Amino acid sequence: MNTRQKALRTGAVFIALPVIAGILLMYKGNDAVALGMEKKEGILTAEQVKMSFDSVNGRLVNEAVKEGDTVKAGDVIMELDATDTDLSIEKTKAQIAQLDAQIRSTGGSQAVNFMKADNDEQQSFRQIDQQRAAVASAQATLKNSRIDYNRKSDLLDAGAIAKSQLDDAEMALNVAEANVEQQQELLNKLLSGAQDTGNTDSLNLPTIAQQRQSASNMSNDIDALQQQKQALEVQLKQLEVQKERLALRAPEDGRIIKVLAKEGEMVSAGTPVVLLESNRSYYDIYISEKQAQGLSEGDTITGHTVAGDKTVTGTIKLLTKAPGFADLKQSREKGQADLTAFQVRIYIDPQEGVTPGMTIGVNEREFTKR
């Protein structure tokens, strides 16, 4: 065989090998999902969290972390400018303090007015009692004057006294009648329209009732001030929540793998600014529809690391039909229908010696034993 023939034969072999390998791979269904179904293996992946500011916009003033930093849940990652929010909080607190002062002042005035009404009532009762005595005295004087006048009138008719004496008695009678009328008017003025039952303690003096009503109406003013205060307290709470949101905190332990915003930049709510690699990790495997029938989310799956054969216990958090491109198309000429692949996402607890990037395999008995 000459050199040319050997070269042609060698070239033919190199061309044929990839073709044969390709045919074998096609026959075995060797795509990513097919291999995953065949070997039931998945790559352990650390879950990533895109962190963003919730419902607040602003200028980034503090970038507290850098890429590669390890953080704990609650650590401050970034902060937006809180100047305007701080001013609003102080203003609202001042308004609340002012309303508190008004409430205390109005409440104090109300108490004073109720006390004044009580004192005025007691004073009016004393004056009424005194005026009743004055009326009674005037009425007694009137009664005596009338008796004296009648007696002297009889004496004058009998010629026993002079006409001047009767005139004096008549004048005294007129004065007594006027005095009774005057004292009664003074009593009526003190009663201010209240019906005089003779029992002072049972009197309901209109002037005192009006004083008490005015004092009672101040409760409406206090209620209105309380409502204003409550509205401001709600506003203050909202501002405090807003300020809290201006500080972006780590939702869980993890490692900063990407910082997407820099100090001085304007940041919008919901825009990712940090990528956090959490301590939660998972791996995906693909199984057949038949194998998926006995599984449900929340089930425990036991796998083993390919390197080191460490036992890894995990929990199914996702069980769903794989994307359409992942369906295993088998030849209908062989009488086989298309097979649907199911994606199973398994989360594991942190375990020493098991790190993201490791391959974890699951024995098929995990699916057949159920």
**Domain at 73, CATH number:** 2.40.50.100
- 167 in the same domain as 50: no
Task: Evaluate whether residue 23 is within a structural domain.
Answer: no
Please check whether residues 44 and 133 belong to one and the same domain.
no
Decide if 57 is inside a domain.
Answer: yes
Residue 361 lies in a domain: yes
Q: Decide: 280 and 347 in contact? Cβ < 8 Å.
A: yes
The encoded tokens of residue 137 equal: 């005295």
89 contacts 236 by C-beta, under 8 angstroms: yes
Q: What is the pLDDT of residue 192?
A: 85
Give how far the C-alpha of residue 236 lies from the chain's centroid of Cα atoms, to the nearest Å.
11
The upper half-sphere exposure of residue 5, i.e. CA atoms within 13 Å in the direction of its Cβ, equals 2
302 located within any domain? yes
Looking at the domain assignment, is residue 10 inside a domain? no
pLDDT digits (tens, 9 = 90+) for 323-366: 654 444 444 444 444 567 899 999 998 889 999 999 999 998 88
Q: What is the mean pLDDT of each run of 10 residues along the chain (370 residues)?
A: 47 42 43 55 95 96 96 97 98 98 97 95 92 95 96 91 93 96 93 82 88 95 97 98 97 96 96 95 92 91 93 95 56 49 93 93 82
Final residue of a structural domain among 213, 239, 265:
239
C-beta atoms surrounding 33 within 10 Å = 20
What sign for the dihedral angle of Cα 184, 186, 191, 192? positive
235 falls within a domain: yes
Q: Which positions ≥6 away from 220 have C-beta within 8 Å?
A: none
Residue 285 near residue 314, CB atoms below 8 Å? no
* Same domain as 228, residue 103: yes
Nearest Cα neighbor of 340 from 355, 325, 353 is 325
Q: Are residues 189 and 229 in the same domain?
A: yes
Query: Each residue of 64-98: b (16+ CB within 10 Å) or e?
Result: ebeeeeebeeeeebbbbebeebeebbeebeebbee
Q: Do residues 134 and 203 share a domain?
A: yes
313 and 217, same domain (yes or no): no
Domain match, 283 and 325 both: yes
Residue 9: what pLDDT? 52
Question: Do 157 and 216 belong to one domain?
Answer: yes
User: What range does the domain containing 69 cover?
Assistant: 31-81+253-368
Report the alpha-carbon distance of residue 311 to residue 348 in Å, rounded: 11
Q: Clarify whether residues 37 and 122 are in a common domain.
A: no
Separation CA 235–CA 239 (nearest Å): 6
DSSP 85-129: HHHHHHHHHHHHHHHHHHHHHHHHHHHHHHHHHHHHHHHHHHHHH
Answer whether residue 9 is part of any domain: no
Supply the CATH number for residue 148's domain.
1.10.287.470
Among 239, 262, 289, give the residue marking a domain's end: 239
List, for residues 148-207, the tens digit of each pLDDT value: 999 999 999 888 899 999 999 999 999 999 999 999 999 999 988 888 777 887 888 999
Residue 306: name the closest of 46, 33, 42 by CA: 42
19 domain residue, yes or no = no
Query: In total, how many domains does the chain have?
Result: 2
Does the global pTM surpass 0.75?
no
Pick the last residue of a domain from 212, 239, 266.
239
Other CB atoms within a 10 A radius of the CB of residue 350 amount to 10
Are residues 75 and 167 located together in one domain of the fold? no
Nearest to 192 by CA among 131, 140, 133: 131
| Co-location of 48 and 147 in the same domain | no
- pLDDT value, residue 293: 87
User: Exposed, middle or buried by CB within 10 Å (0-12, 13-18, 19+), for 173?
Assistant: buried
Examine the domain organization and report whether 162 and 189 are in the same domain: yes
The pLDDT of residue 339 is 63
